[in-house]
Structure 1
Amino acid sequence: MSWDEHIMLIGHTVNCFGGSIKVIGNTGSNSTREAIHATEQGFAVGMHAALHINPYYGKTSLEGLVSHFESILHMGPTIIYNVPSRTGQDIPPHVIYTVAQSANLAGIKECVGNDRVEQYTNNGLVVWSGNDDQCHDARWGHGATGVISVTSNLVPGLMRELMFGGKNPSLNAKLMPLIEWLFHEPNPIGLNTALAQLGVVRPVFRLPYVPLPLAKRVEFVNLVKEIGRENFVGEKDVQVLDDDDFILVAVMSGNEFFSNHFTGDSKLEVLIPKLGQSYGLSINIGSFVVGIHTSPMEIWGCSLS
């Protein structure tokens, strides 16, 4: 997504749902200047908090990490996102403890593991698990507030139950094959494939993302049957899409972005078929994901990632 699309989508989400949920926009960048500019725009269109990753590819020093986050934190409520598998650099605890002096640090999305989650929660920090396969234990065994999730875009009700319904190893085990399927290839490849087969989004992929192969698409249909179609988003029957059903594009304008990825009379209606129910909001946008955010007050929001 271009930055114009990022900000347009944040504003669109705020306009549609900002009165009932907290909208959290991913305005992070490996350029501090770019992150500041995007965050200014995000708050200007009404987002309630920002999600910020550490600089990737062009990595910086630990002192540079502190300076980067301090340059952003003064702008408003912020969740720091630590995912070394994508950035190539871990954000060590002493960096978090340093920037935690800011009242605007809302918490951390932590992907290193549950030992790190517990280290932070034992020191009074709010932490969301960033790993779907570890989130149940993070929530009930290590003090996590909730999860910023990929799987929630498919089965929001079950993920809410997993986070707020009490310790539930059987439900966690039931969801694990789906979670493993989703991460067979890097996210959001599996998620976009799944949503297309559920009829929730059009089968359009922006390169370099391509759909999962046919065998995995067949496997997904079987997973839906095992878990129960009623637990998944959308109202259409799940189907196996052929290779020819998918459209791969390298360039797409903002208007094409919306027209190709949304169906139904309302651009968002088909993506939130039962918004009035208690499980909250789950949206997939093209090759990017909006996932659930859980908090002690059980407020659910949006994250562009």
Structure 2
Amino acid sequence: MFKGSIVALITPMKVNGDICYKSLKKLVRYHIKNNTNAIVSVGTTGESATLTQKEHYNVIIKTVKYAKKKIPIIAGTGSNSTNESIELTKKLETSGISACLNVVPYYNKPTQEGMFKHFEKISKNTKLPQILYNIPQRTGSDLLPETTIKLSKIDNIIGIKEASGNLSRVNNIKSFVKKNFLLISGDDTTALDFIQLGGNALISVTANIMPNKIFKMCKFAINKNFKKARKINDKIHELNKLLFIETNPIPIKWAAKKIGLIDNNIVRLPLTTLSKKNKKILKKVLKKYYKK
């Protein structure tokens, strides 16, 4: 269902910090026009950690509305509270989303058994497809391949976004799961290698500002035209790295504003806007791709 380029969409905000739905609509249309294969709404890049529950739900609903069924929407529904994640997932049952992206519980650092039971309970309480999300550098816990393999046997757990940066995970998981279980990279810098090793897709930060290039790179890689994919990847490699010069989504929001995709580069506290030093660095690189 989900192959190729999936954008981890930013959540645009007004100067006063409110959600800017005008810019959100513009972004959704931008990705439809540029062939992005799917949108993740309110994931890490969408600042899920600082949106209220009401905002979180509303942004997903509006994203589905703006998409008009022209592009699949994957909703970020993860939480460090199992019951909270179930509650949001149930609210979205009839929303029109195509799947949920469910992050490993953060802060409370569950064991492998705790993680298994967390995802198992969520999956039992919904018919919506579930995509696991492993990002240990943010959550403090690492969903190990053996736990992922165990979870893959649950019918509506359809894949994993692996953002550990450990490329050996692709083979470690792929060898023991059902054929249609999705392996999705969560790291722009290693995504091409991830797909070449047997991955299916990339949930991309860079795609926010370079959707067509990420779409083409992923398409070439999935079709095993690695020479053409590598050529695109080499051109954007420096940008991929610089978009993490400060905590995501600080740089990508600044870049999106710089090229005119959103009206403001506002991020919510405790995040702050890009430093003057890093603005200069990122601006210099952006000039290689954009006139503005």
Choose the corresponding residue for 2:191, options 131, 135, 142. 135
- Cα distance in 1 for residues equivalent to 2:171 and 2:189: 16
Choose the corresponding residue for 1:148, options 186, 203, 219. 203
- Cα distance in 1 for residues equivalent to 2:111 and 2:154: 20
Question: AA paired with 1:147?
Answer: L
Choose the corresponding residue for 1:119, options 150, 172, 175. 172
Structure 1 stretches (4+) deviating beyond 6 angstroms?
none
TM-score (norm 2): 0.75
1:184-263 matches, within 5 Å, as 184-201=245-262, 202-226=264-288, 228-229=289-290, 238=292
State the structure with bigger RCO (CA 8 A, min sep 6), 1 or 2.
2
Q: 1:82 to 1:18 in 2, by over 3 A?
A: farther
Report the CA distance between 1:59 and its aligned residue: 1.6
Cα displacement string for residues 245-301 of structure 1 (whole angstroms, at most 9, x for unaligned residues) = xxxxxxxxxxxxxxxxxxxxxxxxxxxxxxxxxxxxxxxxxxxxxxxxxxxxxxxxx
Kept after mapping to 2: 8 A contact 1:139/1:146: yes
Query: Is residue 232 of structure 2 the alignment partner of residue 171 of structure 1?
Result: yes
Kept after mapping to 1: 8 A contact 2:266/2:273: no
Report the CA distance between 1:43 and its aligned residue: 2.2
- Cα distance in 2 for residues equivalent to 1:122 and 1:101: 14
| Other-structure match for 1:71 | 121
| Other-structure match for 1:11 | 61
1:72-87 matches, within 5 Å, as 72-74=122-124, 75=126, 76-87=128-139
Supply the RMSD in Å over aligned alpha carbons.
1.4
Kept after mapping to 2: 8 A contact 1:55/1:87: yes
Which consecutive unaligned segments of at least 5 residues does structure 1 have? 230-236, 239-305
Question: AA paired with 1:104?
Answer: N
Question: AA paired with 2:56?
Answer: H
Cα displacement string for residues 174-212 of structure 1 (whole angstroms, at most 9, x for unaligned residues) = 111101110111211111111122222213221112122
Kept after mapping to 1: 8 A contact 2:148/2:173: no
Choose the corresponding residue for 1:55, options 83, 89, 105. 105
Report the CA distance between 1:48 and its aligned residue: 1.6
Q: Percent identity?
A: 32
Which consecutive unaligned segments of at least 5 residues does structure 2 have? 1-50
- Cα distance in 1 for residues equivalent to 2:257 and 2:118: 38
| Other-structure match for 2:7 | none
Choose the corresponding residue for 1:182, options 204, 229, 243. 243
| Other-structure match for 1:99 | 151
- Cα distance in 1 for residues equivalent to 2:195 and 2:153: 25
Residue 102 of structure 1 aligns to a residue in which SS? coil
Question: AA paired with 1:34?
Answer: E
Cα displacement string for residues 53-81 of structure 1 (whole angstroms, at most 9, x for unaligned residues) = 11111122222111100111131200000
Q: 1:97 to 1:203 in 2, by over 3 A?
A: closer
Residue 88 of structure 2 aligns to a residue in which SS? helix
- Cα distance in 2 for residues equivalent to 1:194 and 1:225: 11
- Cα distance in 1 for residues equivalent to 2:90 and 2:244: 33
Cα displacement string for residues 3-39 of structure 1 (whole angstroms, at most 9, x for unaligned residues) = 1111111111111214122111001000000000011
Query: Is residue 215 of structure 2 the alignment partner of residue 160 of structure 1?
Result: yes
Report the CA distance between 1:225 and its aligned residue: 2.3
Kept after mapping to 1: 8 A contact 2:182/2:199: yes
Kept after mapping to 2: 8 A contact 1:26/1:51: yes
| Other-structure match for 2:91 | 41
Q: How many residues are paired up? A: 229
